[in-house]
């Protein structure tokens, strides 16, 4: 395969290192462009694959990467650079003036930013595991571990450093957390900037209706239920279906599998989702490009949405997301006020609470609940976090974790859609966190995590409206538990775990009301979870219609 290296000049005079892979034969070809934030070497194998399938492939190192000019690696100038590169492509003798874009994670981000500029030659994009719109915070809490690890790994312009060469936990436990990269020679100034301003990274700005309406590029998005960037593709799809043009709506697709950020099935680990869980994504992407870049309408038609229903372990095509046939159902928390770890569990039931005593625990920032599985980044083997559907029992035998289980199910129950916890709680602190995990409890007690979430109390009214707590006062918190699709089998239970930490996925709230990311002092917090007629804490679960819910009436313990 013929490969040429060129230095393309951008509109401001900066030159970017670019590699062109040519297919065999003569003539004019459609092109596929990937702009490489981690270096073109990581995409070489994929480029060769597309070249063998009749595309001219253009790999470009972004500003500051390898030999590309422009200083440190940042997100500045990405959209315009992509646009200018497309202008260059369609001016070449080998181009048929049709361009598609591909790439995963950070490479997905840069291609969507260029897509918003609506280059007329940009006819299709495939932004896999798109990290769009949140990146640094979840429920107002700083998504801690992934940021310094990502910066350590990727921010050097000429060196891609394996993140698992560092024993991270001693560094992550340091306070203030501004010191994490001090001994690791990371991009400290950039890291400090993010810590001071992480709340500014807003989904609203990234996916505004105005931006979405400008799109004119068929879109194939792939993510996983355990992908720490999973909200990006899902929210992008929902915004497109709401604000996109008719053409964009007809040609936007979303695939969600039982995967983590690798979309290679690695998330399974402790759970076997079956041989069909690994789709041939390369073939799906090939057919997508064949249709939109080569005009081959004979390829298989892809539905708007394809989801993997865990538990049942089968794929299903859908026409929308979320599913309009799903019925939001409230599952209320119940107890005698004595819930304590997994030794004494509360109950989840559709029955409304009457007068019940609250449950209490103490949150100590010096001894946080450690992250174990779920939709976290966790690239380092030295971290205890790992990824995916891990059994949460290891984190639940603690007095600062409250667990609530439904009665064993007498019939299968499918829950597919967006999950929310409405929590009434008070704290002795001026600021604190409340965390939640939604789980499928198996016959053997295995507590397979499905989703999790957090709310930083000061941001309970939105990231734009911080307000500290009045200690002892009861507040209502809405905790976004993201999305899932899972069929709870006969004999299984619906499980919920509530605490105030999920470390190091989420930075510890120091409970002082100060800046949690810049300060070192902390205090313990006395937390109270209420669930009575006045304060009916509850899960909101999207149940697929025809599922019976009367099997979940509360029974005495």
Domain boundaries, the chain: 1-128, 326-552
Contact 489, 311 (CB under 8 A): yes
C-alpha to C-alpha distance for 555 and 351, rounded to whole angstroms: 10
Residue 307 has pLDDT above 90, yes or no: yes
**Whether pLDDT at 267 is above 70:** no
Average pLDDT over residues 28-57: 96
167: part of which helix (H) or strand (E)?
none
Tell me, what's the pLDDT at 135? 61
What's the whole-number average pLDDT of the chain? 90
What sign has the CA pseudo-torsion 399, 403, 407, 410?
A: negative
Both structure tokens of 253: 């697709």
Fold of 1-128: Rossmann fold (3.40.50)
Q: Identify the pLDDT of residue 550.
A: 59
How confident is residue 379, by pLDDT bands cut at 50, 70 and 90?
Answer: low
Q: What is the pLDDT of residues 187-243, one digit of tens each?
A: 788 788 888 877 766 555 577 888 899 999 999 999 999 998 888 899 999 999 999
Q: Is residue 471 over pLDDT 70?
A: yes
User: Which of 202-206, 408-412, 469-473, 504-508 is least confident?
Assistant: 202-206
pLDDT confidence of residue 498: 98
* Residue 91 Cα to chain centre, angstroms: 38
Of all residues in the chain, the percent with pLDDT exceeding 70 is 90
Tell whether the model's pLDDT for residue 138 goes beyond 80.
Answer: yes
Confidence of residue 186 (pLDDT cuts 50, 70, 90): confident
Give the mean model confidence (pLDDT) for residues 344-363. 97
Confidence of residue 317 (pLDDT cuts 50, 70, 90): very high
Assess whether the previous peptide bond of 504 is cis (omega < 30° from 0): yes
For residue 551, what pLDDT band results from cuts at 50, 70 and 90? low
The alpha carbon dihedral of 394, 397, 403, 409 has a sign of: positive
Given CA atoms 171, 108, 13, 65 in this order, what sign does their dihedral have? positive
Q: List the structure tokens of 351.
A: 């029955």
- What would the two tokens of residue 178 be? 């501004």
Q: Give tens-digit pLDDT for 95-117.
A: 999 999 999 998 999 999 999 99
pLDDT band at 262 (very low <50, low <70, confident <90, very high): confident
Residue keyed to tokens 């002795």: 428
Is the pLDDT score of 44 beyond 90? yes
Confidence of residue 41 (pLDDT cuts 50, 70, 90): very high
User: How high is the pLDDT of residue 272?
Assistant: 85
pLDDT at residue 552 is higher than 70: no
Tokens representing 371 are 């992250």
For the chain, the residue count is 557
Work out the average pLDDT over 454-461. Answer: 97
Task: Categorize the per-residue pLDDT at 383 as very low, low, confident or very high, splitting at 50, 70 and 90.
Answer: low
Half-sphere exposure of 545 (CA within 13 A, CB side): 5
Where does residue 526 rank: exposed (0-12), middle (13-18), buried (19+ CB within 10 A)? middle
For residue 133, how far is the Cα from the chain centroid? 10
CA distance 112 to 101: 9
The answer for residues whose C-beta is within 8 angstroms of residue 266's C-beta and 6 or more apart is: 259, 260, 387, 388
Location of structure tokens 């690791």: 184
Q: Per residue in 58-90, pLDDT tens?
A: 999 999 889 999 877 665 668 999 999 999 999
CB 114 within 8 A of CB 216: no
CATH, range 326-552: 2.60.120.260
Residue with tokens 């650079």: 81
* Close Cβ partners of 420 (under 8 Å, ≥ 6 residues apart): 478, 479, 480, 481, 539, 540
Please state, in angstroms and as integers, the Cα–Cα distance from residue 228 to each residue in 136, 255, 376, following that order: 11, 15, 5
- Helices marked H in 331-453 — which ranges? 393-396
* pLDDT tens, residue by residue, 440-454: 999 999 999 999 999
Adjacent-strand bridge partners of 544: 326
Least confident of 8-12, 517-521, 543-547: 543-547
* Higher-scoring residue by pLDDT: 77, 244: 244
Query: Element (H or E) spanning 130, and its range?
Result: none
Helix (H) or strand (E) holding 508: none
How far apart CA 151 and CA 167 sit, in angstroms, is 16
List phi, psi (to 5°) of 463: -65, -25
What is the rounded CA–CA span in Å between residue 17 and residue 157?
13
**Residue 557 banded pLDDT, cuts 50, 70, 90:** very low
Q: What is the 3-state secondary structure (H, E, C) of 282-350?
A: HHHHHHHHHHHHHCCCCCCCCCCEEEEEECCCEEEEECCCCCCCEEEEEEEEECCCCCEEEEEEEEEEC
pLDDT of the residue at 75:
58
Q: Do the beta carbons of residue 537 and residue 332 sit within 8 Å?
A: yes
Q: Look at residue 78 in the predicted model and tell me its pLDDT.
A: 84
Work out the average pLDDT over 103-132.
Answer: 93
Per-residue pLDDT, averaged over 25-33, amounts to 96
User: Which range has the top average pLDDT, 24-28, 165-169, 371-375, 426-430?
Assistant: 426-430
Q: Measured between alpha carbons, how far is residue 132 from residues 164, 170, 375 in Å?
A: 25, 30, 15
DSSP classification of residue 261: T
Question: Lowest-pLDDT range, 106-110, 123-127, 129-133, 419-423?
Answer: 129-133
- Report the predicted TM-score, pTM, of the whole model to 2 decimal places: 0.94
Kindly give the interhelix angle for 78-90 and 106-115, rounded to the nearest 10 degrees.
70
pLDDT for the residue 332: 98
* Cα–Cα–Cα angle for 230, 152, 223, rounded to 5 degrees: 15
* Collapsed DSSP state (helix, strand, coil) of residue 179: helix
Whether the CB-CB separation of 388 and 260 falls below 8 Å is answered with yes
Contacts of 283 (CB under 8 A, 6+ apart): none
Q: For residues 198 and 202, what is the distance between their CA atoms, to the nearest angstrom?
A: 9
360 bridge partner residues: 528
Q: Is 149 helix (H, G, I), strand (E, B) or coil?
A: helix
């Amino acid at each position: 395969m013929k490969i040429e290296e060129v230095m393309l000049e951008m509109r401001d005079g900066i030159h970017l290192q670019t590699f062109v892979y040519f297919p065999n034969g003569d003539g004019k070809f459609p092109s596929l462009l990937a702009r490489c934030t981690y270096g073109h070497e990581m995409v070489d194998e994929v480029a060769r694959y597309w070249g063998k399938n009749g595309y001219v492939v253009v790999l470009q190192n972004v500003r500051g990467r390898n030999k590309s000019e422009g200083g440190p690696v940042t997100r500045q100038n990405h959209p315009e650079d992509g646009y200018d590169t497309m202008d260059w492509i369609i001016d070449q003798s080998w181009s048929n003036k049709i361009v598609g874009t591909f790439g995963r994670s950070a490479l997905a981000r840069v291609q969507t930013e260029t897509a918003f500029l609506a280059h007329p030659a940009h006819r299709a994009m495939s932004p896999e595991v798109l990290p769009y719109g949140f990146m640094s915070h979840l429920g107002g809490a700083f998504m801690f571990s992934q940021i310094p690890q990502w910066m350590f790994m990727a921010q050097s312009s000429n060196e891609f450093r394996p993140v698992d060469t560092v024993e991270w936990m001693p560094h992550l436990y340091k306070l203030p957390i501004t010191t994490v990269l001090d001994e690791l020679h990371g991009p400290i100034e950039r890291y400090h900037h993010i810590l001071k301003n992480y709340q500014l990274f807003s989904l609203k700005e990234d996916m505004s209706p105005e931006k979405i309406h400008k799109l004119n590029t068929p879109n194939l998005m792939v993510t996983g239920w355990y992908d720490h960037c999973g909200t990006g593709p899902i929210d992008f799809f929902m915004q497109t279906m709401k604000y996109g043009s008719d053409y964009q709506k007809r040609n936007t697709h979303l695939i969600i599998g039982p995967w983590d950020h690798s979309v290679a099935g690695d998330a399974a680990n402790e759970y076997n989702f079956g041989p069909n869980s690994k789709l041939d994504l390369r073939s799906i992407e090939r057919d997508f490009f064949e249709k939109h870049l080569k005009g081959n309408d004979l390829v298989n038609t892809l539905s708007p949405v394809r989801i993997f229903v865990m538990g049942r372990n089968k794929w299903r095509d859908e026409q929308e997301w979320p599913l309009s046939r799903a019925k939001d159902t409230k599952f209320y928390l119940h107890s005698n006020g004595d819930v304590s770890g997994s030794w004494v569990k509360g109950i989840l039931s559709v029955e409304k609470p009457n007068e019940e005593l609250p449950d209490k625990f103490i949150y100590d920032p010096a001894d946080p609940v450690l992250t174990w599985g779920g939709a976290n980044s966790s690239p380092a083997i030295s971290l205890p976090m790992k990824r995916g559907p891990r059994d949460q029992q290891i984190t639940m035998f603690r007095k600062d974790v409250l667990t609530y289980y439904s009665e064993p199910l007498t019939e299968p129950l499918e829950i597919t859609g967006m999950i929310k916890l409405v929590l009434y709680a008070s704290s002795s602190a001026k600021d604190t966190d409340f965390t939640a995990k939604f789980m499928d409890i198996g016959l053997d007690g295995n507590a397979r995590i499905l989703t999790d979430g957090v709310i930083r109390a000061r941001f309970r009214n939105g990231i734009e409206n911080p307000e500290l707590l009045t200690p002892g006062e009861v507040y209502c918190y809405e905790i976004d538990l993201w999305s899932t699709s899972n069929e709870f089998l006969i004999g299984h239970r619906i499980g919920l775990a509530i605490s105030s930490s999920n470390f190091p996925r989420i930075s510890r709230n120091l409970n002082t009301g100060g800046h949690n990311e810049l300060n070192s002092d902390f205090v313990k917090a006395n937390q109270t979870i209420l669930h009575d007629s006045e304060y009916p804490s509850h899960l909101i679960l999207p149940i697929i219609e025809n599922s019976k819910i009367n099997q979940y009436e509360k029974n005495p313990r």
